Amino acid sequence: MIRFVHRLNIVLAIVAVIAVVAVYSQKHVAELTADEIVRIERAMARQQADLSILKADWAYLNQPTHIQPIVDRHNEVLNLQVAKVAQFGNFADLPMRPQQRLDTDALDALFETIEAGEDPIGSLLEDLL
Amino acid sequence: MSAIIHDQGTIAIDGARKARGNLTGARIRWAMVFVLLVFSVMGARLIWLGNVVVDTTIEGQARDAIMASRPAILDRNGLEMAVDIRVPSLFAEPRRIIDVDEAADAILTVLPNLDSTWLRQRLTGDRGFVWVSRELTPAQQERIMRLGIPGLDFLEESKRFYPGGAVASHILGAVNIDNVGIAGVEKHLDDDNLALLQDLGLARDSALTPVNLSIDLRVQHILHDELLDSLERYQAIAAAGAIMDVNTGEVIALASLPDFDPNVPAGMLQEGHFNRITAAKFEVGSIFKTITFAGALDSGAVRITDDIDARFGVRFGRYTISDFHGKYRILSVPEVYQYSSNIGTIKMMQAMGKDNFRAFLTRMGLEGAPVIELPEVTRSAIPATFSEVGAATASFGHGLSITPMHMLTAMSALVNGGRLMDATLFPRTEAEARAVSTQVVSEQTSAYIRYLMRHNAISGSGSRANAIAKGYRWGGKTGTAEKVIDGRYSSAKSLALFASAFPLDDPQYALIVLVDEPKPENETSGRTAGWNAGEMSGRIVTRIAPMLGVQPNLDPMLDTQLVPAQLRAGML
């Protein structure tokens, strides 16, 4: 019995030492992770700040108030003007495609000769070869 | 190990085991007491920690409120009008600063515009948080970090940025350094429970959905650009304009010059930089005749085919009201409008009756402040009851003051088939607008007004502008209101207005522009509204109509169809 208690004590002592080491290392790992979280959060905040500035920059560059002076400055080359009424049109104003007339008589004649067993195009090709 | 216990004569001998058992029991009790003690210390510490109030305020303000962002404001097409940018702000913890002088000198190398004694005083002491300088650039932040002074740190703050600058200043308003809206839509958003979200700390980062306005930034830019041009062209002291979708009541553009840059809100407070569309009331002059005409025609007292006797001025006691461009003959109703005859308009108002006329003004929503989501509004000034003279002058827009926004809203109702709806700066569909609208004049009256406006553009005071805006079936009414200087109407200083709409065969947009104290552009040009406000309206329409999807059409049939059937017979 005493021996058993002895052994138990030794086992418990070892378990305690292992537990202490484990808890300490866990704590250490947790601290490292917490550091990393802080680092990533900082990076995110910084990137969000950068992003917000880039977005603002993009919005600024897209503003009509920003584009107009550029257009004015280069108007000698671009020659942009307010659209005149005559420059507008709509689909209804487009003329219809000119009607293509099929020469039905000639086609009929062609089909008849093919049906009769003669192939005028085939014989043309044969002549070429 | 044993113990002999003498007890009442009997002798009991405890065995070694029992003695050890007692000892173990005592040890366990001691251990329990010890563990209990340790746990109660821990528990007490927990309760104590739980009761510690962590001071999250920064100089009296909640930290969350300072870091809170505002929703981006977009125009109707999704272009950004106001965005948040994250900027670093420098703060110090004076209790952690070791050498105040060294720290102050170092900071001053980066931020030389700070006052040296103020800074030293700020860094001395035992406080936990003081602002040193807010809203720095990333480059400044980098340089301060390199100084490596303990007790200095940065906080990311949201700063409002308006990429368009002054272009929509009177719509957007501005925010103060704590990101609280102080004017315009920004203030409206705050009053509209954004402030609550910020206080709760919920308004953080990108969690807020952007707010869309009904403004079209391209149209807004053109309006602003043309107003700027008019200030120079006519050497006016101020100019303003607004454009509204007549079917939905959405304001497409609104600008008033002189204005300010919302990024530097201090400019807002300068003299004369107020919003002339909603926060200023004017005697609008002849453009008001459109409303009188609508009232008279809608009441049935005057028909479009009637003739009005405008041969003689109207006498009220010692005063006689006569015409500016007097014809002094019998005029048809369209001619009264075309020649802007005061006499004719008074006669039409009198046919309707002055009390009916007064009631009609209320029906047109001209009472009180204009309804729009801007805090900067002013109430109109219309006498509660009209005297004979008062009604007569009111019929052509004198002796009563309304804001241009009142006029624009009323004009929209007069051309869109008679449905009056509140103006809004937020997107609204036609069905939603219809649900909140009230029928103020009949469809027929609205058709008459459209005809009269187009008629005035073809052959009246709008003809100069119509030549510019050819093809967009545009028309409206000019108004040149003489200003009251020292109690008398001055002929040298006037306010030129133009209220118009296009395309009148299928009304979509109404616009009002005003030029304050215009001077003639050159020797040959006139001073009245047709020359300045009118021509400017024409230029605006040619530029914005293609953007708004209004196709030009030169077909003369469109104009002919606008002519009421009763008049068409006479023309042919």
Q: What is the mean pLDDT of each run of 10 residues along chain B (572 residues)?
A: 54 73 87 96 94 69 64 88 86 84 88 87 81 82 86 83 89 85 86 62 60 92 92 91 94 92 83 87 90 91 86 82 78 88 90 90 90 90 89 89 93 92 92 91 92 88 82 89 77 86 91 90 76 88 89 82 76 47
Distance, CA of B526 to CA of B519 (rounded, Å): 8
Distance, CA of A64 to CA of A69 (rounded, Å): 9
pLDDT of residue B2: 47
Residue given tokens 């700020």 in the structure block: B122
Which region holds residue B325: left if phi is over 0, alpha if psi is between -120 and 50, else beta? beta
Give the burial class of B507: count Cβ atoms within 10 A of its Cβ; 0-12 exposed, 13-18 middle, 19 or more buried.
buried
| B546 neighbourhood in chain A, CB within 8 Å | 83, 88
Length of chain B: 572
CA distances from B443 to B109, B288, B363, B417, B451 (A): 72, 20, 16, 5, 12
CA distance B102 to chain A (A): 28
- Residue B114 DSSP one-character state: S
Return the sign of the alpha-carbon dihedral for residues B352, B357, B359, B360. positive
Give the burial class of B332: count Cβ atoms within 10 A of its Cβ; 0-12 exposed, 13-18 middle, 19 or more buried.
middle
Contact, B568 vs B448, CB < 8 A? Answer: no
* Higher-pLDDT residue of B13, A7: A7
Reported as a single tens digit per residue, the pLDDT across A63-79 is: 888 888 898 899 888 88
CA distance B253 to chain A (A): 14
CA angle B117, B123, B129 (to 5 degrees): 140
Q: Which string of b and e fits B278-291 if b means at least 16 CB within 10 Å?
A: bbbbbbbbbbbbbb
- The ipTM of this complex is 0.71
* Token pair for A60: 């600024």
pLDDT of residue B1: 44
Residue given tokens 């949201």 in the structure block: B158
Taking all residues of chain A, what is their mean pLDDT, rounded to a whole number? Answer: 87
Contact, B169 vs B259, CB < 8 A? Answer: yes
Considering only the beta carbons, identify the residue of A48, A56, A62 that sits closest to B79: A62
The residue in chain A having the minimum alpha-carbon distance to the alpha carbon of residue B473 is A85
* 3-state DSSP assignment of residue B498: strand
Beta carbons within 10 angstroms of residue B124's beta carbon:
14
The residue in chain A having the minimum alpha-carbon distance to the alpha carbon of residue B217 is A64
pLDDT of residue B154: 84
Considering only the beta carbons, identify the residue of A48, A59, A85 that sits closest to B163: A59
Reported as a single tens digit per residue, the pLDDT across B120-169 is: 888 888 777 888 888 788 788 888 888 888 888 888 778 888 988 889 99
Distance, CA of A35 to CA of A30 (rounded, Å): 8
Q: How confident is the model at residue A31 (pLDDT cuts 50, 70, 90)?
A: very high
The residue in chain B having the minimum alpha-carbon distance to the alpha carbon of residue A48 is B86
Q: What is the dihedral of CA B288, B293, B296, B297, to 10 degrees?
A: -150
* Contacts with B134 (C-beta within 8 Å, 6 or more apart), sequence order: B89, B90, B157, B177
B217·A63 Cβ contact <8 A: yes
pLDDT of residue A17: 96
Distance, CA of B148 to CA of B134 (rounded, Å): 19
- pLDDT of residue A126 exceeding 60, the answer is yes
A52·B165 Cβ contact <8 A: no
pLDDT of residue B243: 95
Reported as a single tens digit per residue, the pLDDT across B448-468 is: 999 999 988 888 887 888 888
CA A91 to chain centre: 33
Residue A65 sits at the chain B interface (C-beta within 8 Å): yes
pLDDT of residue B4: 53
